[in-house]
Amino acid sequence: MATFKITDAINLENPNAGDLHLLNGDLVWLGEDTEAEKVEAISQHIRSRLRTFLGEYFLDERIGIPFFRDVFVKAPDLEIIRSIFSQGILNTPGVVQLTELRLDLDRSTRELSIAFEAIVDTGDPLWVGYDQPFIIEV
């Protein structure tokens, strides 16, 4: 199954991170032709899932992270948040195992940094948040 690539590096052709990725004016597809493309597609799917609010998807309001209930609260419980994000990662198609999950909550800036390592169904490790921070503003 192929999907559109989402840009994470900002350049002249792709000025906004999180938008569809363009190359010479054309949309870039992520197929499953190579293991690298498959791992990148799974990584992109995880990032999308972890940014989706519970109830946001109109076709299935059960999908998403309960940000308002458990994350955007005055005194967030990191163990509950860890459990929520663990399930979000593990329930992503293609993820076999979650080997590490690090959460760092900076209360002064209200930022939650997430880094994790997972094993995907190709047997390859997937690292998110180690080289480029995955941050949620709480």
Q: Which domains does the chain have, with CATH numbers?
A: 31-137 (3.10.450.40)
Query: What percentage of the chain has pLDDT greater than the value 90?
Result: 50
- The packing angle between helices 78-90 and 35-50, to 10°, is 140
CA 25-27-28 angle, 5° bins: 120
pLDDT-based confidence at 89, cuts 50/70/90? very high
- 52-65 burial by CB neighbour count: b if 16+ within 10 A, else e? eebeeeeeeeeebb
User: 2 by DSSP, 3-state: which?
Assistant: coil
Query: What percentage of the chain has pLDDT greater than the value 70?
Result: 98
Spatial separation of the C-alpha atoms in residues 47 and 39, rounded to whole Å: 12
Q: What residues have CB less than 8 Å from 14, skipping those under 6 apart? A: 7, 21, 22
pLDDT at position 1? 57
pLDDT at position 60? 93
**CB 92 within 8 Å of CB 49:** yes
CA 33-35-37 angle, 5° bins: 65
17-32 average pLDDT score: 79
**CB 125 within 8 Å of CB 118:** yes
Residue that wins the pLDDT comparison between 122 and 1: 122
